């Protein structure tokens, strides 16, 4: 007896005499043509027909969806937020589809950074654009514009609306 078998017997994991007997799973013997006993299983499976899926008509192709132009011409809304609590003055008109021009010249640097981050998040979420209107202009003002996705207002018109030109 091997060491492994001895351990299995000690813990009760070795096969018993009932486990080894194959005839416990079979009915009485059947005798074949040659006279030898052949045991049949107790549960015989009935033959099944192979599965064939029913042919289906192809699904109709969806109709192409055309992008429509904006429903109305966006208005230009000017905002001068003094604190981060005023960020809703930027978000609500932009959410409605309007162009928002905001100036952060007089605000604290930390507050201005938070407002710009908020505006950048708005643009990202709605696939809009954020434009720095004071870039390339000779003055100390910090003015930005949020432009909706499908709007193509030129930069010089935005600067004119902000009072930069």
* Domain locations in the chain as residue ranges: 3-41, 76-162
CB atoms within 10 A of CB 26: 14
- pLDDT at residue 28, rounded to an integer: 54
Q: Which residue has the higher pLDDT, 96 or 47?
A: 96
Pick the CATH number of 76-162 from 3.10.150.10, 1.10.10.10, 3.40.50.300, 3.30.110.150: 3.30.110.150
pLDDT, mean of residues 90-104: 92
Question: Mean pLDDT across the stretch 4-26?
Answer: 63
Q: Give backbone dihedrals phi and psi of 39, rounded to 5 degrees, phi first.
A: -85, 135
Position 35 scores a pLDDT of: 58
79 has a pLDDT exceeding 80: yes
Alpha-carbon distance 35 to 47, whole Å?
Answer: 27
Question: How many other CB atoms are found less than 10 A from the CB of residue 93?
Answer: 19
98-136 pLDDT per residue, tens: 999 999 998 999 999 999 999 999 999 999 999 999 888
DSSP H or E segment with residue 86: none
Which pLDDT tens digit goes with each residue over 25-77?
555 555 555 656 555 555 566 777 787 888 888 888 887 877 665 566 788 99
pTM of structure:
0.55
User: pLDDT value at position 50?
Assistant: 80
Residue with tokens 């905002």: 79
Which of 88, 91, 164 is closest to 132 using CA atoms?
A: 164
Residue 21 pLDDT more than 90?
no
Task: Write down the pLDDT at residue 165.
Answer: 72
Is residue 127 within 8 Å of 151, Cβ to Cβ?
Answer: no
For residues 19-28, average pLDDT: 53
Q: ∠ at Cα 46 (41, 49), nearest 5°?
A: 145
The pLDDT of residue 38 is 58
């Amino acid at each position: 007896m091997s060491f492994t078998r001895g351990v299995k017997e000690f813990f009760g994991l070795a096969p018993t005499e009932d486990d080894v007997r194959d005839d416990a799973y079979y009915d009485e013997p059947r005798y074949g043509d040659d006279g030898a006993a052949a045991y049949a299983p107790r549960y015989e499976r009935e033959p099944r027909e192979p599965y064939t899926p029913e042919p289906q008509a192809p699904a109709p192709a969806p109709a192409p969806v055309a992008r429509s132009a904006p429903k109305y011409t966006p208005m230009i809304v000017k905002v001068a937020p003094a604190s981060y609590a005023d960020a809703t003055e930027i978000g609500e008109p932009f959410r409605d589809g309007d162009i928002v021009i905001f100036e952060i010249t007089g605000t604290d640097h930390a507050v201005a950074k938070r407002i710009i981050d908020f505006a950048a998040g708005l643009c990202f979420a709605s696939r809009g654009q954020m434009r720095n209107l004071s870039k390339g202009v000779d003055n100390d003002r910090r003015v930005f514009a949020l432009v909706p996705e499908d709007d193509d207002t030129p930069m010089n018109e935005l600067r004119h609306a902000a009072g930069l030109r």
